[in-house]
Chain A
């Protein structure tokens, strides 16, 4: 087995593009679910409208990169408002149903034949990232040391991505220490009590939905820019569920929970994949072939998650005392 490759891909995964964009999506989920108690099962739609907003603005309309970013952000805010107005006055489970359906509608519209000229059908859109890489301050070449090397494009995406993660965490930290965050956490516990204390619950839930959606949508930009393309099926429901897994893994309602959760999630996936593929190739494991390794690693991750919920339900950063209180 090629241990150097396995270890280098694993270490790269810890800070890689996947970790970054899933961390952003999960930070959004953490605001919705962890702090406000909103069951948003349509986070992938926020990533999708941002990625496609950027892609379509640049490729189809021929407008500059920054306008594309603006369109993507605006699309995320609009999506939050449209989802929120009918559902936020209702019980939490309605939001879950509507958001998961809306995310599928968004994905199916993006891959539909009828809108192929605009969204590019199931092939998606490519060729919109030149404006981003034109800003790249790193000259051509390999960066890093030993076997930990990144090309200048990847490095640029990662630098921008981690800056965005840092800013998002700082915003979450500031907000959740503030009276505004206190209202959100109170809504998670009991929104009627918050109403009886003179707070406009609907408005706070809407602000939370918009904020989490906008931070999540940054993940859509990072994906689109890193791979220089967007495809509809990247933004399927499993993206949302991975993000939920990451939030629970890291510990809900913790500032760095989603970031560490995302790193651990991808490190595990890549490590298990590397070790299993290596073992299959070198004939140590004979009961499956290399194509079965991909699905099998998700099976192991699922098992790991079950064990986590049994032995550490509060996640990595969570507070055990909080889990112990379940008065509801």
Chain B
């Protein structure tokens, strides 16, 4: 049953992408996130300049690009952690530019961080509980009367324990988050983000610093998010992972979206190869260049030969 629905969700996502153009900014049938003209400059450097991009609902979309392409900065703009110089973006049709980070999260768009932000001196369970929304006891006056929030806290704890069990962190529930390994922290951060009950999960390099043994389990969890009806947008460098789990890939370079496409073929796209390896990296050499290189090699060889004979 579960496997069937898994195939359905993946098939549905793939069907949505089936006949799409490979151009940057191609319109999707049912976008959850639509971004227009987002620009962010740091002094003279334009870190992000994205014209138009859409993220399909219910899919796993990868955002890739060489180092310094502006992927994380773009993430920061979208989630309210940094203010864009200009541009608009809508989430579920609701305009999100200028919305502070905590309201972005409340709207259902939750992110994780490249450098994991486990709350070290809180226990794993407390980390999880923090993710719950609308806890009445988070109001100052109501916090003073435990009777008001205790029942709700129980429900939140049940939900947290369920998630912890799914992420195989239940044995660690009373340990400080700071005592977890790097991979476990990534798992905890993802589980904590799910406590918010988001519609769109944005993962910034979920595999960075995770040991290979945990990679498979993390990959499974990311796929699982789609099966539960969530949309995933993630930044990643590991192309194996991108190929394995994503339904669609958006490529950024020098702040702009340069190409989009399905994961199977995107890496053979000329624009992507140029962005990663530099333009003209495989262009044939001209006649004169070739002659010069040959000449240089001959001179070097002769010099070596003379040295040998002197001895």
Residues of A near any B CB (own CB < 8 A): 171, 174-175, 177-183, 185-186, 188-190, 192-201, 207, 211, 321-322, 325-328
Cβ contact within 8 Å between A207 and B140: yes
Number of interface residues of B (CB under 8 A): 43
Interface centre among B117, B129, B179, B195 (most CB of A within 10 A): B117
- A312-B112 Cα distance, complex, nearest whole Å: 36
Residues of A within 8 A of B176 (CB): 321-322, 325
Q: Tell me the chain B residues, 126-143 only, with Cβ under 8 Å from chain A.
A: 126-127, 129-131, 133, 135, 137-140, 142-143
Inside 8 A of A326's CB, which chain B residues have their CB?
A: 120, 178
Q: Which residues of B contact A189 (CB under 8 A)?
A: 119-122
Contact, CB under 8 Å: B133 / A190:
no
In this complex, which of B106, B121, B179 has the most chain A Cβ atoms within 10 angstroms of its Cβ? B121
Is B149 an interface position by the 8 A CB rule? yes
In the bound complex, how far is the Cα of B117 from the Cα of A192, in angstroms? 8
Is there a chain A Cβ closer than 8 Å to B101's Cβ?
Answer: yes
Report chain A residues within 8 Å CB of B135.
Answer: 179
Per-residue CB contact flags for chain B residues 174-212 toward chain A (1 = under 8 Å, else 0) read 001011000000000100110110000000000000000
Interface-centre pick from A192, A195, A198, A325 (highest chain B CB count, 10 A): A198
In the complex, the answer to whether B146 meets A182 with C-beta atoms within 8 Å is no
The residue on A at minimum CB distance from B117 is A193
Beta-carbon contact of B117 and A183 below 8 Å: no
* Bound Cα distance A35, B143 (Å): 15
| CB-based contact A180/B146 at 8 Å | no
Is B259's CB within 8 Å of the partner chain A? no
- 6 new A-B contacts, CB < 8 A, other than A178-B149, A197-B102, are A174-B143, A174-B144, A194-B119, A197-B105, A198-B105, A200-B102
List 12 A-B pairs, Cβ < 8 Å: A178-B137, A179-B129, A179-B143, A186-B127, A194-B130, A196-B101, A196-B105, A196-B117, A197-B196, A199-B130, A199-B138, A326-B120
Closest to B126 in A: A182
Residues A183 and B138 in contact, CB atoms below 8 Å apart: yes
Q: Which residues of chain A come closer than 8 Å to B144, judged between CB atoms?
A: 171, 174-175, 178
Complex: chain A residue closest to B176, CB-CB: A325
CB <8 Å contact, A183 and B102: no
- A180 to B122, alpha carbons, bound, how many Å? 14
| A175 (CB) vs chain B CBs: closest residue | B143
Question: Among A171, A186, A192, A197, which residue has the most Cβ atoms of chain B within 10 A?
Answer: A197
Closest 9 CB pairs of A and B: A325-B178, A180-B143, A178-B143, A179-B137, A198-B105, A193-B117, A189-B119, A195-B101, A198-B106
Which A residues are CB-close (under 8 A) to B105? 195-198
- Among A178, A196, A322: residue with most chain B CB under 10 A: A196
For chain B residues 109-124, which have a beta carbon within 8 Å of chain A? 110-113, 117-122
Using Cβ atoms and an 8 Å threshold, which residues of chain B touch A322? 121, 176
Task: Name which of A175, A178, A182, A328 has the most chain B CB atoms within 10 A of its CB.
Answer: A178
With contacts A178-B146, A195-B105, A198-B133 known, is A325 near B111, CB below 8 A? no
| Complex contact A181–B143 (CB within 8 A) | yes
- Chain B residues lying within 8 Å of A186, measured Cβ to Cβ, are 119, 122, 126-127, 130
B195 to chain A: which residues have CB within 8 Å? 197
* Binary contact track B91-102/A, C-beta < 8 Å → 1, others 0: 000000000111
Establish whether residues B138 and A197, one from each chain, have CB atoms under 8 Å apart when the complex forms: no
